[in-house]
Amino acid sequence: MELLDFDDDLPDEILAESKIDSPEAEESITRLIKALGEDPEREGLQNTPRRIARMYSELLAGYNVDPVAMVNGALFDVKYDEMVIVRDIEFYSLCEHHMLPFMGRVHVAYIPDGKVLGISKIPRVVDMYARRLQVQERMTRQIADFLRDLLKPQGVAVVVEALHLCMMMRGVQKHDARMITSAMHGAFRANLATREEFLANISRGAAPLQI
Ligand SMILES: [Zn+2]
């Protein structure tokens, strides 16, 4: 058995499903370390390329999720037609411009029209889109569009609040600036009272974003 400390707990399925070309990723990371003026052979860096390649299999696992299989068995026919809200879904993503993390919370609401999705699946939908190279605006829209297409609800709304390390560590270095994006369909777009009910709900008792 190889005694390498990867600091991870990656299940074999994630590594097996990953579309990442690990040898190629490892070589590229070794080259990057050299290009940055560091010595890839020094002790602390020796396993870094393998560690990073494994890490991307985890951080970018959203590309490999089959959405049909994911929601399979969790779609239910119900007569309920009040707003369903799942708030404060924690997420971590990587901005595609810098490949630095952005992270925060997603709030999802929909008004069913005959179909609901098992509640544990909504965070899985968020993860499927977060664990990719992303921009926050597109991630927000993809989550909303996916739920609209899947559930054909009377309306769906998604709000994402996030902190971007590329804004905090570099560039403008605004530590507390958070970005808020939203996507609304159906009743949430057409009906001000519906939209306000959702927005009032998610602002109630909201904890500040922190890292
Ligand atoms: Zn960025």
For the residues 53-68, what does the mean pLDDT come to?
93
CA 171 – CA 37 distance, rounded (Å): 22
- Beta-carbon contacts of 75 under 8 Å, excluding residues fewer than 6 positions away, are 115, 116, 117, 118, 150, 151
pLDDT at 176: 74
pLDDT at 11: 72
- Is 166 one of the annotated active-site residues of the chain? yes
pLDDT at 16: 73
Considering the chain, what percentage of its residues have pLDDT values greater than 90? 77
Q: How, if at all, do strands 133-134 and 84-95 pair?
A: parallel
Q: Which of 200, 165, 168, 163 is nearest to 179 (CA)?
A: 163
- Is 175 one of the annotated active-site residues of the chain? no
CA 204 – CA 176 distance, rounded (Å): 20
**pLDDT tens digits for range 8-21:** 777 777 777 788 89
Q: How confident is the model at residue 5 (pLDDT cuts 50, 70, 90)?
A: low
Within 13 Å, how many C-alpha atoms sit on residue 75's CB side? 15
DSSP letters for 62-130: GGG--HHHHHTT-EEE----S-EEEEEEEEEEEETTT--EEEEEEEEEEE-SSEEE-TTHHHHHHHHHH
- Is 197 one of the annotated active-site residues of the chain? no
pLDDT at 126: 98
**pLDDT tens digits for range 90-125:** 999 999 999 999 999 999 999 999 999 999 999 999
pLDDT at 1: 42
Residues within 5 A (CB) of ion ligand 1: 95, 97-98, 166
Candidates 107, 134, 136, 161; catalytic one: 136
Candidates 27, 38, 90, 97; catalytic one: 97
pLDDT at 6: 64
Q: Torsion angle, CA of 121/126/131/134, rounded to 10 degrees?
A: 160
- Write down the pTM of the prediction: 0.91
